[in-house]
Amino acid sequence: NRNYKMADGVTSIVQQQAGKIKPKQVNIADVIDVDFGTLEKVYDGKTDVGYDTRAWNRQNTGRKTAKDFINAVNIGPAASSRTALAAGDYQAAANYDSADVGAHTAAYTITLSEHAAKLFDNYDPTGTTGANLAYDPATRAITVSHAGQITPQEVVAKAERAATKVYDGTTNLVKGSTQAAPAGTGAIQPLADGYVALRRADGRTRNPDGSSVWGTASPTVTGHYDTKDVVLNPDGTVGEKTVSYTASAGSNYKLIDAADPSNAAIGTLSFTGKGRIEQKEIRTIRFGDEVEKVYDGTAVVTENASGADPKDTMNQAASAAQSADFVNGE
């Protein structure tokens, strides 16, 4: 510059000034890629993507975590230079948007190790977020969703408890039946009350969920005695009856025949169990009319030898006999 010159003896001037290098904004879809395997599990009543299910559906599917469904987590400064993280450089947790059977979306949170997250010291992948991908530098967490599937649990139905009641003139299954109140305190719910169990195909656990909760797509079981009448053995004792059940799986379950290797689904399954109807005790009988007969020299209440019973009062009285112990209008 013609207007200035260095002072005598000064050859250079050094001036220090604070500065800053900002991370480069990058498209998150270019620097982060999560490669998923097939997300699938058998219904277990939970939203967890991972499961601990042994020998379900006749196959030992063992145990899987949410991380086991990830083939690779690839990160890098650009799409062309991403590298796969070592297994120890990230952890994963995930849940489906529903616990029921069907196609669902699994929401993943993948947390990077401090070492892996250092890549983003020079890059800002939050500048342009993908519709299905985000990164939070404060928690080192990648959030991403992926499609998955929950398949029905295979179950076999079995009657496990004999139903018992006092004769009430119906084929209904009732609980709390007594001599005083044969109709009981309400209808038996075969599944909920433990008369029928839907068991896993391997025979373990009464409820495939491992709890009393069947989920919103619940199975249903109905039942009734084969007839309303008491069964008497030849020696006069009360015998066993057949109870007929019908089970419908609900969409969370697949009814199968344990003896059928094809695992063919049964939409509605009919099967039988055991039951018992006790005799109703009669304590009093009231005749409806006065009994009358022609004198025959005996105290026997029956028609006399000549059959003379002008009003047929004995038959009338018998047909009109009533008792508070009779049930169902009998």
When pLDDT is averaged across residues 161-187 and rounded to a whole number, the result is 95
What's the pLDDT band for 213 if we cut at 50, 70, 90?
A: very low
What's the pLDDT band for 320 if we cut at 50, 70, 90?
A: low
Per domain, the residue ranges of the chain are: 24-151, 153-278, 283-330
When pLDDT is averaged across residues 205-228 and rounded to a whole number, the result is 67
Q: Rounded CA gap, 166 and 314, in Å?
A: 31
Q: Rounded CA gap, 87 and 82, in Å?
A: 16
The pLDDT tens digits for 283-317 are 776 665 566 667 777 776 655 444 555 555 555 55
**E strand segments, 201-267:** 220-225, 241-248, 253-255
Within 10 angstroms of residue 203's Cβ, the number of other Cβ atoms is: 10
Return the half-sphere exposure (C-beta side, CA atoms, 13 A cut-off) of residue 57: 15
Percent helix, strand, coil in the chain, to 5, is: 10, 35, 55
Average pLDDT, the chain: 82
What's the pLDDT band for 127 if we cut at 50, 70, 90?
A: low
DSSP codes, 156-207: EEEE-S-EEEE--SS---EES--SS-TT-SEE--TTTTTSEEEEETTS--SS
Q: Are 128 and 230 in contact (CB under 8 A)?
A: no
Q: Rounded CA gap, 310 and 308, in Å?
A: 6
The pLDDT tens digits for 225-269 are 999 999 999 999 999 999 999 988 778 888 877 666 666 777 788
Q: Give the per-residue pLDDT at 88.
A: 95
Q: Which residues contact 15 (CB under 8 A, 6 or more apart)?
A: none
Model confidence, pTM: 0.66
Q: Is the pLDDT of residue 72 over 80?
A: yes
